[in-house]
Amino acid sequence: MNISNFDGLLQAAKQQTDAQRLLLVFAGAGLPENSSPEQRAAFEAGHGGELTPIMCVDKTPDEIGSFAALLAEASTMGQEWVIVFVGGMAGRGQTAPTSQEAEPRLQSMVEAIKAGQLGKLIPFNRQGDAVNLN
């Protein structure tokens, strides 16, 4: 399945046989303390830096609604983010996993992002487009 934007992901999640819960980790960008002048220049030009998880949430696709709705909700949190990483959990039939069931996986996602292990997550920029972080 080729997901190119967040709303496409929502559509795909809604079409699954088993109900889904999406796990979202919003990350901000910054520079490490020991960054070089070249790294600082690249960061100021909009490239590079390191991603740090700053907030997370789990929701069903219907609770999210659309990327525009998610963006509006996230803006009320007062956190400056640049990328949202998304993972998912399948439920059983029409019953999506609960937030309580999702919590350990959500925390695992946060730890994976901190460790730079992004392989199983889909990153989206603030425009809702899937991005390649390689």
Count of structural domains, the chain: 1
Answer yes or no: is pLDDT of 34 > 90.
no
> Is 66 among the domain residues?
yes
The domain containing residue 55 runs over which residues? 6-125
Q: Using alpha carbons only, what angle is made at residue 19 by residues 17 and 20, rounded to the nearest 5 degrees? A: 115
pLDDT number for residue 60: 97
> Is 131 among the domain residues?
no
Give the H/E segment covering residue 40: helix 37-44
pLDDT band at 17 (very low <50, low <70, confident <90, very high): very high
Answer yes or no: is pLDDT of 47 > 80.
no
Token pair 């999640």 is at which residue? 13
Give the H/E segment covering residue 8: helix 6-14
Higher-confidence residue: 32 or 112?
112
Higher-confidence residue: 46 or 40?
40
Q: What is the pLDDT averaged over residues 23-35? A: 90
